[in-house]
Structure 1
Amino acid sequence: MADVVKVPSGSKLGIGFSRAIRVGDLVFVSGCAPIAKDGSVASPGDVKAQTKRCFEIIEGALVQAGADLKHVVRTRIFLTDMSRWKEAGEAHGEIFKDIEPVTSFLGTNALINSEWLVEVEADAVIARG
């Protein structure tokens, strides 16, 4: 059995989840919402800035699990307004232009907080390089 490393979510929601879990060389990062360091919504109304904030949270979780953004092999970007996917795509491209993980842009009718315009998940393989 591979070693399992859990990165706590820090959530006060009481729903029992980890921000990330590492199993061997695989790291799975749960959906990250645009939450500012003070707990407020980051950059209300700005899809690109919210997406960047999600990736900052993902990067922090990866580091805690012993990985880095360069290890990301898959991202999933959930948007409440698919007509704004290019804004999220610009943020994704700025971070992953040289890494080029597989990615999906998915529409959803709502996220937990109505001010969240985006939520992002990521998977990483540490042996990737």
Structure 2
Amino acid sequence: MSPVFHMIAGGPRPVAPFSHAVEADGWVMLTGQMPTDPDAPDAPLPEGIAAQTRRVMENLDIVLRGVGLDLSHVVQCRCYLTDFERDYAAFNDTYQSFFPPARRPARTTIGVTALAVGALVEIDCLARRPEG
């Protein structure tokens, strides 16, 4: 199956030249999402790691729903924090609220020096379309 490149109507405005998601053989790879508001992409970012994490997770959900999936289909996340030591605990508190304890995706969290649009957090993920 050839890859399908998805741009989601009503999804977050891309901050660089990329697709919201690319799908191949039932796997859906989502581009890292930023804490921008799809309804007001030029508005200031939410303040603080909790609010930005919530917005990023909501943006991932928008993209997933645009391809007929949701967060329950996520099998792996990569998370990037600009101030790892300060924000890691609060990030985890917010992030975990989006997944039931028995159904948390595999995850890697990395401290980075900077992110696009001055964000504190970015998350990309891999989802799997159900078979059948």
Superposition TM-score tier, normalisation by shorter sequence: 0.7 to 0.9
- Matched-pair identity in %: 26
Instruction: Tell me the residue number matched to 2:27.
Output: 26
Report if aligned partners of 2:12, 2:59 keep a CA contact under 8 Å in 1.
no
Unaligned runs of 5+ in 2: none
CA change 1:12–1:73 in 2 (3 A) is closer
Please tell me the root mean square deviation across aligned C-alpha atoms, in Å. 2.0
Unaligned runs of 5+ in 1: none
Equivalent residues in 2 for 1:1-129, closer than 5 Å: 1-2=1-2, 4-8=4-8, 11=13, 13=15, 15-36=16-37, 37-39=39-41, 40-44=43-47, 46-83=48-85, 84-98=87-101, 99-114=103-118, 116-127=119-130
- Cα deviations by residue, 1:68-115 (Å, 9 ceiling, x for unpaired): 11000001110000011111111111001332100111010001222x
Aligned residues: 125
TM-score, normalization by structure 2 = 0.84
TM-score, normalization by structure 1 = 0.86
CA change 1:12–1:95 in 2 (3 A) is closer
